[in-house]
Amino acid sequence: MSPPDEPSGKPPGKPLPPGQYVPRGWPVLHYGPVPKFRPDSWDFRVFGATESGGQHRWTWEEFERLPRARAVGDFHCVTKFSIPDNEWEGVSGSTVVELAPPHPDVTHVMVWAEYGYSANIRMSDFLADKTMFATHRNGERLTPDHGFPVRLVVPHLYAWKSVKWVRGVEYMVRDRRGFWEERGYHNVADPWNEQRYSYQEEEGEAPPH
């Protein structure tokens, strides 16, 4: 894990969430090693409370052919750096929901990645305009240390929700915590409200223990 760079000294072009700064470059932070991408065996699955009760699956070649979306969005790390105005390209959360419809009772999704890493988000966050499974940033393929081949991007939440090396989505009819949420991080993760840690949670923001 690499520490964030020092602030660049350049004032950001727009307001940042409380406590955030703009670094030089795009710092790399993650838990565990960078996984090796094996296109022949890689797949993307949607499972859990689907409308059909079955599982949806795409190979890497099939995933690459899914409808593409582009959006400009910020990147806010809970370690306090922010990178404004990234141009993301990939498959939107709404496209995944169209192709793999959830049961009407679904309220949350768990996003699963290599090594069993996970993060939970509300369905409303998953369907937000700029939420996508990104393959490119600023016109270039993601690098392995930034989540190649696919990472979730949820620009309006802290970036531990923007899961690297995604392999699947689980539809859930009740919320439960993901990897960092089980280890003391806020269940919702709104940077504008500085929702960094679980002790800040209010009633209705987290699943029952």
Measure CA of the first residue to CA of the last residue in the chain; give whole Å. Answer: 30
Write down the pLDDT at residue 209: 62
Please report which confidence band the pLDDT of residue 118 belongs to, taking 50, 70 and 90 as the band edges. very high
DSSP string, 26-76: -----SSPPPPP-TTT-EEEEEESBSSSS-EEEEHHHHHTSPPEEEEEEEE
Please report which confidence band the pLDDT of residue 13 belongs to, taking 50, 70 and 90 as the band edges. low
Q: What pTM did the predictor assign?
A: 0.90
Q: Which of 19-33, 100-114, 191-205 has the highest mean pLDDT?
A: 100-114
* DSSP H stretches of helix in the chain: 60-64, 93-99, 123-126
Would you call 180 helix, strand, or coil by DSSP?
coil
pLDDT tens for each residue of 91-105: 999 999 999 999 999
